[in-house]
Amino acid sequence: MEKEIAGFGASGRNGGWCSALFPWSTTLLAKEFGIEKAKALRMAMIESVDQIGKLTKELGIDCDYQKAGTYTLIRSAAQNQKAIAAIEEARQFGVDGLTLLDAKNSPLATISQGAVFDPACASIHPAKLVRGLAVAFEKLGGTLFETTQVFDFKPGSVRTSQGDFTGEFIVDALEGYRSTLPGKKRESLPLYSLMIVTEPIPSEVLDGLGIKPGATFADFRNLIIYGQRTKDNRIAFGGRGAPYHFGSRVRNSYDRVPAIHAHLERELKDLFPELARYRITDRWGGALGVSRDWMASVKLDPVTKIAQAGGYVGDGVGTSHLAGKILADLILSRDTPETSLCLVNHSSPKWEVEPLRFIAARGAMVAARLADKLESFTGRKSFISRIIGWLTGK
């Protein structure tokens, strides 16, 4: 059941990073669940990137899948500390194949000292992927009820704008929209991420900048940015910073915030001044879902037969694929290596009541901005950034 059309949500409008990234760092996963469980989840995430490539090929979904890896640029001494920590963490656990690149082997961004390269990332066209999956689902015999708004659900039945439906299992996959259902305001926090895209840019220009076909890029700042060279040679570029809305409200009008879109344009130009002469053709945004402990989870209550998956934060392309596989296994009572992963049946605490939630979410945004300013000034990882890391599982 989908209120609008399949892909209306974050899945149809994201940055197209099909990555092995996960909201919690490997170190935190190891601390909470043990080293072996942490490594198993990292491996499952890395495999998900390839499985999406394989599955879309098998299903004939042309979603511009290109596995060209991701470059996290190092643009200050403070970011260099984080890069070294990322390489050290990968070395310690021995699963992620991160490498440190010098400036001439990474995208040629301004004041870049190089990058950390992670091969476990493909780029995709999100809307082509999700629409392709919807078509494949129907071809396999599934029925998709679009323009069907769910008002509420309880064990065995769902109340919708098209009437009541019954079913043995119910999967709540509302993610950034979960808070819009009765009684669920504190389960998931809708965090807005906004995007811009350039007109097509000549290949020589992008090649000259060291942005390889299909590559994705970011840097180590606190207020996340993310970019992708699309199949048709545009740069799709996004970032956080849009405001949280009181009461976990989600509205279509929140998808476009002129000040944040202008900020993204400035940041893209700051990274690659050569791109300033190319037009920004589209601006949009959307809500992603954040659980109180920033941990993604997949769960099935064997008594009520209600399942839930989400809390992917900004890493939902790969993680929702893994979650989908786990949901199928749980519902069909299949014991698989994936059903013993540490995100299975994990319970996150609830978010605070308002106005505390509002103060925390808005405060975190201001803190991330401040930490970036301090770090570029002092060259050291800031105290605020450590607190943000501690609060967000990094």
Ligand X SMILES: Cc1cc2nc3c(=O)[nH]c(=O)nc-3n(C[C@H](O)[C@H](O)[C@H](O)COP(=O)(O)OP(=O)(O)OC[C@H]3O[C@@H](n4cnc5c(N)ncnc54)[C@H](O)[C@@H]3O)c2cc1C
Return residues touching ligand X (CB under 6 A): 1-4, 8-11, 13-17, 19, 149-150, 173-177, 180, 193, 195, 226, 238, 285-288, 310, 312, 314-318, 320
Q: Which residue is nearest to ligand X (CB)?
A: 316
Token representation of residue 71: 């470059």
Q: Toward ligand X, which CB reaches closer, 3 or 350?
A: 3
Q: Toward ligand X, which CB reaches closer, 288 or 371?
A: 288
Q: For residue 335, how far is the Cα from the chain centroid?
A: 27
Q: How far is the CB of 177 from ligand X (least distance, A)?
A: 3
- E strands present in the chain: 17-19, 70-73, 99-101, 115-118, 121-123, 150-154, 157-160, 163-166, 170-172, 189-198, 216-219, 225-229, 235-239, 280-290, 297-300, 306-310
Q: How far is the CB of 238 from ligand X (least distance, A)?
A: 5
Q: Toward ligand X, which CB reaches closer, 15 or 114?
A: 15
Single-letter code of the amino acid located at 112: S
Q: How far is the CB of 5 from ligand X (least distance, A)?
A: 8
| Helix, strand, coil share (%) of the chain residues, nearest 5 | 40, 20, 40
Q: Toward ligand X, which CB reaches closer, 224 or 360?
A: 224
2 contacts 165 by C-beta, under 8 angstroms = no
Task: Provide DSSP, 85-113.
Answer: HHHHHHHHHS-S--EEE-GGGS---TT--
Q: How far is the CB of 4 from ligand X (least distance, A)?
A: 5
Q: Toward ligand X, which CB reaches closer, 153 or 351?
A: 153
Q: How far is the CB of 343 from ligand X (least distance, A)?
A: 13
